[in-house]
Chains A and B, each alone.
Chain A
Amino acid sequence: MIIEVTDLKKNFGRVQALKGVNLTVDKGRIVGFIGPNGAGKSTTIRLLLGLLRKDGGKAKIFGLDCYQDAVEIHKRMSYVPGDVNLWPNLTGGEVIDLFIDMQGEDPKSSRKEELIKRFDFDPSRKCRTYSKGNRQKVALIAAFSVESELYILDEPTSGLDPLMEREFQALVKEQKALGKTVLLSSHILSEVEQICDDVAIIRQGEIIESGSIKDLRHLTRTQFIVEAVEDLDFSECQGVYDVVKDHDKWYFQVDHRHIAGVLSYLGNYQVTKLETKEPTLEDLFMRHYEGDAKGGV
């Protein structure tokens, strides 16, 4: 186990930012950490980095205490925040070298040059002239230039364009192939879905769902789109939800365990077209909002 968080609590004054977060990240996994704005993702990550003091519970990385042993832990991991601010009168290249050097590696012998090319980054300019995306590239290049066992990434692509985001995803997958572990926070679910093995969903300071993406999908429904000659009647059929008819197309969702039943039931009709869609994490997410109009903060 690389990251082990049990019942982690954090208050800011009277605001309970974390109400008892449980999270485990195993070696070699890419874990998506998702939740709406203000859910507590960054707070959890700052606690993991030892930047904040916890008000209860346990937070460990590599079996070491996140606050007391921060230095030891940081020697073996890299962090990229969503909002990267840099020193305005240093160049991007200087900052990258500084970070790599601080990680105890030689800025010249690292993968730096390759990453600079991949991210199409100009390291010779002063940081004050960089856009948000470019500042983020500085942090990403520095983080992936060193040999870390763990990458903690807090919405690291919020400023990148789609091309660069794809580059980033490729990079994360390469890390997985090398046996590295990644914790990737995001509020964009599709991004997490494409590259993550596991997800943990946080909302209002609590983990409401976690597990492998495959397992979680079983909790969800598959979207069906059916065209048939006759009118369909689902009153007899179990596990079918949200039936909508649009011209001659039928849209509805089916619980995973009832798929077989629905398919055989559809055999009774003259179906001219059948489409199914895998559930997205959005659907998964929406399920938790049903019956709770408050949502995030």
Chain B
Amino acid sequence: MSRQPFYQVGKLLRFYIKREYVKLFTWLTGLVVTTVAVALALSGIYQSDQERQMMAETMENPAMKALIGRGFGIDHYTNGAMFSHEMLLMTMIVVAVMSILLVNRLTRQDEESQQLELLLALPIGRLAPSLSAIALLVITNVLLAITTTVSLTLLQIESINFLGSLSYGLALASSGIFFGAVTLLTAQLSNNQRGAMMLSYLVLGMSYIVRAVGDAGDLWLSFLSPLGILQETQAFVNNYFWPQLIILIFSTVIMVFSMRLREKRDLGSGLLADKKGKNKASGFLKTTPGFILSLQKVPLLSWAVAMLLIGLSYGSVLGDLELFLTENEIIQQIIGSANDVSLTEQFIAIILKVMAIISTIPMLMVFHRLKSEEAKGRLDHLLARPISRVRVYSWYVIISLISSIVLLSLGIFSLAGAGVYVLDTSIDFWTLVQANLVYLPAMWVVLSIMAVLYGLIGKLESLAWLYLLFSFMTIYLGDLLEFPDWLMAVSPFYWVPELPVEVFNVWPLITLTVIAGGLITLGSLGFIVRDVGQS
């Protein structure tokens, strides 16, 4: 052990706050406003017990459980029970992402770009940066818990009481603190920022998937997932606090362990060894697309595996779903009788939309890499050689497009494979595949938003991420909160025919593709004439 390992942690924390408070304030505001808005909207729309009970019936099936988590108090579906069923899991994931980004920025990123070397050459304890990062993580999440609790309580919605709000807020905070702690650990394992971040997201993704499979089949598997444990707080129903306690204890153990690892390793190193690279560039690497692909090989392969896993787990849900519906003919009669479409198909439509949203993420990441290459001044190396801007831009677009096709296909093939062949459900394999692939044009529209902003002005391209988040919200909350049609129509996914349910219509797909193509072309024209350079 070194002496004074935490020296000047207070000053460092103040510095970290100064660096981060704008970002964190934005995150917290967004989170609290969304929480309050959804709570208000839900209680406004579903005013009678009967209406809520009807909703409860539609939620209480394996597909929805896999998607949004297990519900509590289903027999007496109060406003609070409904709100936390709809929102807790998704919000916990968003809080986890915020915390992962925060801790990753303050630890691995600073270490990789050598600012940490400057700091540690000052009289600052070796573990002070880690502890300051954790302190800021905890402060942020505690603030989130407090503001969430207070604002939910102040709404004075029946059944959304103080204790329930507190358990809800603390569950959010615990999720953030846990995944922040995980990120401190991954910062010790990987020797680069992207790798560490990917490992953290891997843990988050696995937590979601394990819980999804567990929740859908009512298995103990959910208790292996921190998200699964935290939803057991049963906010507004039983308001248990042991889940938060368990998760916080685990988080503390992970943090202490991570600091141990930090104390023992060299600055700049990771505990997972780096493979020795090649001496010479392969022929593939020397081509522009080969170069771009090589930069993103690891994330793309990881996403391929992730899509397979997600497909498998949702596929397994199809089996659970059919079983459930045959066992519950009454429910089928209540809801299914409304129209001719089977309940299974309705849920399949939702799951396929979610699959499309998920595979939009890697597609955007591929293109977004172009921006970070430019920002770090590395694009200059390409452009200074006889490689035109159009070529670089086009290849990034093409590789994004290809990865959207490949990754979505991987997901749906494994979903359909697991669902149809392994579990022997009654849905046709190719119907499922087709029903999912029709979302590609909508995904490309999201990409084109990023491409046009990047090409024309070289910034604000991150708005495409917000656009994707918004599209997700329309799918996830749109029907529930009765969004007006014009608002739903802003999302490109709205225009795609929901295949097992609706009939196939090629025109919206053509229109979406043309819009995407037009915006991408416009972006390329902008990219040719604008300033390129480090920022």
Interface residues of A (CB under 8 A from B): 13, 46, 49-53, 67-72, 74-75, 78-79, 81, 83-87, 89-90, 98-99, 101-104, 128, 139
State whether B267 touches A51 (Cβ < 8 A): yes
B51 CB within 8 Å of chain A: no
Report the contact-size class of chain B (Cβ under 8 Å from the partner).
20 to 34
In angstroms, Cα B3 to Cα A69, docked, is: 6
Closest A residue to B125 by beta carbon equals A71
Flag whether B49 is at the interface (Cβ < 8 A).
no
CB-defined contacts of B3 to chain A, threshold 8 Å:
68-69, 71-72
Q: What A residues does B123 contact at CB under 8 A?
A: 71-72, 74-75, 102-104
Does B535 have its Cβ within 8 Å of any Cβ on chain A?
A: yes
Q: Which residues of A contact B113 (CB under 8 A)?
A: 85
Residue B126 at the chain A interface, CB threshold 8 Å: yes
| Residue in B118, B125, B535 with the greatest tally of chain A CB atoms within 10 Å | B118
Which residue of A is nearest B265, CB measured? A53
- Annotate B14-43 by CB proximity to A: 1 below 8 A, 0 otherwise: 010001000000000000000000000000
Beta-carbon contact of A83 and B122 below 8 Å = no
B115 with A102: CB separation less than 8 A: no
Contact B114 A83 (CB under 8 A): yes
Name A138's closest neighbour in chain B (CB-CB): B118
> Given that A51-B266, A98-B15 are known contacts, is A86 also in contact with B121, CB under 8 Å in the complex?
no
Chain B minimum-CB-distance residue to A84: B118
Given contacts A70-B2, A74-B122, A74-B124, contact A85 B114 (CB under 8 A): yes
Partner of B19, one of A70, A72, A87: A87
Q: Which residues of A have CB within 8 Å of B281? A: none
Query: Which one, B4-12, B232-240, B245-253, is touching chain A?
Result: B4-12
Complex Cα–Cα for A72 and B4 (A):
8
Q: Are B11 and A102 in contact (CB under 8 A)?
A: yes
Cα separation A90 to B121 with both chains bound (whole Å): 19
Cα of A285 to Cα of B123 in the assembled complex, Å: 36
**Can you show 27 pairs from A to B with CB atoms below 8 A apart?**
A46-B117, A46-B267, A49-B121, A50-B2, A51-B120, A67-B2, A70-B2, A71-B2, A71-B3, A71-B123, A71-B125, A74-B122, A81-B114, A84-B114, A85-B113, A85-B118, A86-B115, A86-B118, A87-B19, A87-B115, A89-B19, A98-B15, A99-B118, A102-B11, A102-B119, A102-B123, A139-B118
B residues less than 8 Å from A101 (CB atoms): 11
Given A69-B2, A85-B113: A102 in contact with B122 (beta carbons within 8 A): yes
Cα of A87 to Cα of B125 in the assembled complex, Å: 20
CA–CA, A52 and B122, complex, Å: 15
Partner of B535, one of A83, A86, A87, A128: A128
Chain B residue numbers with a CB within 8 Å of A70 are 2, 120, 126
Residues B124-146 near A (CB distance < 8 A):
124-126
Q: A67-B2, A71-B3, A103-B123 are in contact. Are A81 and B117 (CB under 8 A)?
A: yes
Asked whether A52 and B266 contact (CB < 8 A) given A13-B273, A70-B126, A103-B122, the answer is yes
Q: Pick the contact of A49: B15, B114, B120 (CB < 8 A).
A: B120
CB distance from B113 to the nearest CB of A (A): 5
Shortest C-beta distance, A134 to chain B (Å), equals 13
Q: Complex formed: what's the CA distance from A74 to B117 in Å? A: 12
A79/B19 contact (C-beta < 8 A), A53-B266, A71-B4 known: no
With the chains together, A74 CA to B124 CA distance in Å?
Answer: 8
Chain B: minimal CB distance from A154 (Å): 10
Distance in angstroms between the alpha carbons of A75 and B535 in the assembled complex: 34
B468 to chain A, nearest CB (A): 25
B113 (CB) vs chain A CBs: closest residue: A85
Q: How far is the CA of A139 from the CA of B118 in the complex (A)?
A: 8
9 nearest CB pairs, A to B: A79-B121, A74-B123, A51-B267, A75-B123, A71-B4, A102-B122, A52-B266, A71-B7, A85-B113
Tell me the complex Cα distance, A81–B115, Å.
11
Question: Is A50 a contact partner of B115 (Cβ separation < 8 A)?
Answer: no
In the assembly, what is the distance between CA of A79 and CA of B119, in Å?
A: 10
Chain B: CB-nearest residue to A104: B123
